[in-house]
């Protein structure tokens, strides 16, 4: 039976690919572009975690910029201020995964309420969703910036329910990041893990997602049967 649900979607890694900066990163970094992109992504998430724990909040844009500085040092790459700003601006132009727009359309047609729910500032996320073509499929864009902390703080997931006037029975968190899924599940939400890489392992914390799928089209099929 298809019960209408409120579904919050992580953005970076779930709706859009945060590692693939395309030809631009290749031109600046060279043959280490993929490694650079992965480290940059991992480091900005780490910085957000650390700031959340330390209660030294700066928005995700600051975490991203500081992570870039770290990666430039690791790879011994020198970029001008203009090149760095140009590179940071590319985050507003990340591409949606191929399954995202059709998958969201299916979920929306099933009557579910859909929201992007991100560590990124709302204006930046909304711009990204617009540029990637995802925004028309969403009912809302919600940022943790409103609380001045980051996922996976339990207060953030409570805020998702409050903002959407939802409850634990009907609120779902969908993410490709195991730490996000575990955080939401620990806070009492229903969860779905998007395993975009078959080699990726879910953290063995004894907290499992309610659903594991490879993409959003599969998610729509699974949720339609619940």
Query: CA distances (Å), 20 to each of 1, 26, 34, 76, 190, in order?
Result: 38, 10, 7, 20, 29
- Strand, coil or helix: 149: coil
Tell me the C-alpha distance between 184 and 181, whole Å. 5
Taken as a whole, the chain contains a residue count of 226
Distances 144 to 18, 119, 153, 157, 175 between C-alpha atoms, Å: 18, 5, 10, 9, 15
**C-alpha to C-alpha distance for 119 and 117, rounded to whole angstroms:** 7
The catalytic site residues sit at 10
Please name the residue that has the structure tokens 């910085």.
47
């Amino acid at each position: 039976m298809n019960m209408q649900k409120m579904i919050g979607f992580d953005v970076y890694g779930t709706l859009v690919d945060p590692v693939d900066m395309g030809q631009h990163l290749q031109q600046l970094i060279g043959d280490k572009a993929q490694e650079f992109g992965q480290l940059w992504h991992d480091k900005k998430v780490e910085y957000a975690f650390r700031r959340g724990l330390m209660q030294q909040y700066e928005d995700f844009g600051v975490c991203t910029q500081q992570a870039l500085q770290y990666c430039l040092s690791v790879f011994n790459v020198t970029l001008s201020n203009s090149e760095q700003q140009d590179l940071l601006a590319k985050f507003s132009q990340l591409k949606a995964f191929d399954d995202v727009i059709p998958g969201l359309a299916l979920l929306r047609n099933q009557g579910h309420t859909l929201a992007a729910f991100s560590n990124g500032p709302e204006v930046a996320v909304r711009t990204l969703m617009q540029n990637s073509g995802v925004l028309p499929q969403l009912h809302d864009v919600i940022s943790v910036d409103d609380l001045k902390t980051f996922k996976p703080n339990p207060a953030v997931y409570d805020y998702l329910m409050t903002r959407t006037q939802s409850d634990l029975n009907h609120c779902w968190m969908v993410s490709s990041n195991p730490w996000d899924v575990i955080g939401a599940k620990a806070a009492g939400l229903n969860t779905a893990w998007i395993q975009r890489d078959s080699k990726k392992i879910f953290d063995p914390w004894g907290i499992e997602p309610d659903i594991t799928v490879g993409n959003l089209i599969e998610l729509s099929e699974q949720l339609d049967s619940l």
